[in-house]
A and B are shown apart, each in its own frame.
Chain A
Amino acid sequence: MATSASETAPGEDAALFKLLDHIAVELAQEYVRLMEAAAETEPPAHSDTGAGLR
């Protein structure tokens, strides 16, 4: 009995895989950008002189 395509994982559709992988790359780039932006705005956790703890 044939199985419906909707009842299996995406098949060997190269164009679809390329599209999904492209989305993943864009998401990863945005993730890196957000993490870098967060690191820039984070106050220093502590310092030896106590600066930044107030």
Chain B
Amino acid sequence: MAPGRSFTLSELARDLNAPQHRLIHLCEKGVIAPDVEDARGRGSSRLFSARNLLEFAIALRLRRAMLPVAAAGAALRVLRAFEGRLQRELPGFSLPESLREDRAPDLRIIVSDGSTIYFSLGRPGGETKVFGGVSLDQITGDKPASMKAATIAAMPAGKGAGANGFGGPEGSRFVRLELSVTEIARDLPLD
């Protein structure tokens, strides 16, 4: 169980300006698991953590961009594993609080050409590295995950962009959807 404040479904719906059924849908599809208390039949209610609030905020934005539920689930799995790893290396690290600090790097999710998910980490004006990518076909099960795709690319910003200046290090050609997890975390109504 995550420490700190807890939220009911109606509080989350109000804070995120989203209908409750959309939040319930994400829970029932296994994208988000309530950190505090899960529903156990009629009359029981779910309770969520601040980390869940961040997860909903990210998943809703990805869904508004027409990404499949499975893509949102994959992105959130990476964030949970990222947090778990950092909690072992940086005492006190937690999402979303640590990303709300002034000196926190900018963590982003990038959807390249509508087909591949990457993550980037960097500082404004500094070097940004890109990690991934994961094919949406792999995530949705339309194509088995291959070890070739497991190769991680880590590239300084500015390298690999197209000749016309479009795209980022990952080499997007036509479409690049970028979502700042850090900015979403800072925008959450937690104060």
A contact set with B: CB distance below 8 Å: 4-11, 13, 15-28, 30-32, 34-35, 38, 42
Q: How large is the interface on B (under 10, 10 to 19, 20 to 34, 35 or more residues)?
A: 35 or more
Assembly CA distance A20 to B80 (angstroms):
10
How far is A7 from B74 in the complex, measured between Cα atoms in Å?
12
Interface residues in chain B, defined as those with a beta carbon under 8 Å from any beta carbon in chain A: 29-31, 68-74, 77-82, 84-86, 89-90, 103, 105, 107, 119, 121-123, 129, 131-132, 134, 138-142, 144-147, 149-150, 152, 154
CB-defined contacts of B123 to chain A, threshold 8 Å: 34, 38
19 A-B pairs besides A13-B138, A26-B131 with CB distance below 8 A are A7-B70, A9-B69, A9-B73, A10-B73, A15-B144, A16-B74, A16-B134, A16-B139, A16-B145, A19-B134, A19-B145, A20-B74, A23-B78, A24-B80, A27-B119, A30-B121, A31-B107, A32-B89, A34-B122
Chain A proximity of B138: nearest CB distance (Å)? 6
* Given known A-B contacts A6-B68, A9-B69, A24 and B85 have beta carbons under 8 A apart: yes
Known: A6-B68, A24-B85, A31-B86. A18 touches B150 (CB 8 A): yes
Query: What residues of B have a CB within 8 angstroms of the CB of A11 in the complex?
Result: 141
Interface centre among A4, A8, A11 (most CB of B within 10 A): A8
- Smallest beta-carbon distance B69→chain A, Å: 5
Enumerate chain B residues within 8 angstroms of A7, measured Cβ to Cβ: 29, 68-70
Nearest-CB distance from A26 to chain B (Å)? 5
